[in-house]
Amino acid sequence: MNNDVIVGLDVGSDKIKCVIIKRTPNQHYGIVAVGETVSQGVKHGMVVDIAAASRSIADAIAQAESKANFSITEVSLSLPAIQISMRHLHGSVNVARNDKRITEDDVVNAFRQAISTAQLPANQEVVDLIPEEFVIDGFGQVPNPLDMVGVVLEVNAQAFIGPKTIVENLKTAVRQAGLIISELILSPISESELILSDNEQNEGSIIIDLGAFQTTASIVKNHRLQFIANIQQGGAYVTSDIRTVLAEENHISISFDQAEQIKRDFGYADPLRLESGRKIELNRAGSGQVQEVPVSYLSQIIGARLEEISSELYAHLNQLQSLPVPRSMVLTGGGAALAGIDDLFNKRFNKQVHVFVPQEIGLRHPSFVNSLSVANYVANQSVTDWLAKRTLNLALVPPSSDFTQAGPEGEQQKARKRNRTGSDEKKPGFLDKIKEYYSRMFE
């Protein structure tokens, strides 16, 4: 397990990001380089076009390589929390060595035995596994059994189960970019380690990851992930609403990218708290005339969609019965960069809400949390966590046959430099009730 250089890769629906961190002489990690490119072939967190996604991944990696001035062969990959369920598993094995000293093989065998008890359908698999405790000859609460002596080794572990198709298509796209997957880590697990303090992980916190096409809510308590919910709406839906309303109501024709820039520059999440008479000038379609659009008008459009998203999240959290909902809420992901969103969620959920933004130079935007958190997780994981990953056959997975015979400066590099082709405009359908909500606000 060589963690001197770690590459965290986030294959998102809007952007693909990778972060390279490297161990320094004082045993800390520093940011070496960042790569970011427009995502192709990925929708709602799922790879739908392996070739297109592979080219985008290769582009992001090539960008980071040029900045770091060395080649990347292995990545630690973030797995989106789509249709994830959780289950506690138990495994038990006899220690193999004659002297009964516990080795890595014994730990792996205990994990394997635990996984075998899950009895999953053919379309599901254990996508991540977190050891909770080991038990040696009936004595529990052992965090690391390696080199200890015992006859029977048991493990209690938390398993995360998801659709095999989503995982395999993502892995295939990464491999076809000429990369080896050294780790595959569920995004809420790595995010919680990066953005929550020790006290927040212990007392309980809600993490809301506002991506482009999906939003994920997770709850961490007692340093364990307790709950995951995913909805298929995100920041790109807000952008699409801006574009659609301006076209249908004001005859202002703009591209998706222009609507995104308007949202970033002038958008505010909570229309009821916006105190601004500011206006922006936009061109009316086909007329050449300029029309002034109040920033408050823009905020009404944004607020309507965010009401949709927050209502769905509220419904998921409101269904919890056995788990108390924590008072602390942390917002992250690209959608969390929208001004005023913390106030909106504070009012909607009655929680202590703040937005997490990485403080590392070059990464000061919440959209980088995923890729950075994966690298951070790998840098700080215990040996037993790493053995759990190895048990799932996710560590050191060989690349596809297309790249097996290619040298590091050969076909792998060529594949990463292929030009992207085609366009895949992200345009979610507009909800009528958003329009109705907007209309009521201006009656």
Quote the strand ranges of 2-84, DSSP E. 5-11, 15-23, 29-38, 42-43, 46-47, 74-79
Q: What is the chain's percent helix, strand, coil content, to nearest 5?
A: 40, 30, 35
| Cα(369)–Cα(189) distance, integer angstroms | 12
Residue 323: the pLDDT is 81
Half-sphere exposure (Cβ direction) of 83: Cα atoms closer than 13 Å: 12
Residue 395: the pLDDT is 40
Q: What is 5-81+165-189+362-416's CATH number, 3.40.190.10, 1.10.540.10, 2.102.10.10, 3.30.420.40?
A: 3.30.420.40
> Residue 153 corresponds to which tokens in the numbers above?
């080794």
For the chain, which residues make up each domain, given as ranges? 5-81+165-189+362-416, 85-164
Contact 101, 147 (CB under 8 A): yes
Residue that has been written with the tokens 């998706």 in this structure: 256
CA 312 distance to own-chain centroid: 19
| Cα(373)–Cα(282) distance, integer angstroms | 39
CA 113 to each of CA 91, 146, 155, 185: distance values in angstroms, whole numbers, following the listed order: 5, 17, 9, 21
Q: Which residues contact 280 (CB under 8 A, 6 or more apart)?
A: 262, 266, 292, 293, 295, 298
Residue 1: the pLDDT is 53
Q: What does the DSSP assignment read for 341-403?
A: HHHHHHHHH-SEEEE----STT--SGGGHHHHHHHHHHHH--HHHHHHHHHTT-TTBPPPHHH
Contact 375, 309 (CB under 8 A): no
Residue 282: the pLDDT is 87
| Cα(411)–Cα(415) distance, integer angstroms | 6
| Cα(426)–Cα(238) distance, integer angstroms | 11
Residue 122: the pLDDT is 93
Residue 322: the pLDDT is 76
Q: Pick the closest to residue 436 from 263, 313, 308, 314 (CA basis).
A: 308
End-to-end Cα separation, the chain, in angstroms: 63
> Residue 421 corresponds to which tokens in the numbers above?
């082709």
CA 220 distance to own-chain centroid: 16
| Cα(283)–Cα(265) distance, integer angstroms | 17
Q: Pick the closest to residue 131 from 146, 152, 121 (CA basis).
A: 146
Successive 10-residue mean pLDDT values, the chain, 443 residues:
85 96 86 96 95 98 96 95 95 97 96 94 94 96 96 97 95 96 94 95 96 96 94 95 93 91 94 83 74 93 95 91 88 96 94 94 92 95 93 50 33 39 38 42 38
Identify any residues that bridge with 161 across adjacent strands, giving them in sequence order. 85, 126
Residue 438: the pLDDT is 39
Q: What is 85-164's CATH number, 3.30.1490.110, 3.40.50.1980, 3.50.50.60, 3.40.630.10?
A: 3.30.1490.110
Sheet of 328-332, strands arranged across: 224-231, 215-221, 205-210, 328-332, 352-355
| Cα(139)–Cα(287) distance, integer angstroms | 79
Residue that has been written with the tokens 């958190």 in this structure: 373
Identify any residues that bridge with 268 across adjacent strands, giving them in sequence order. none
Neighbours of 190 (CB within 10 A): 28
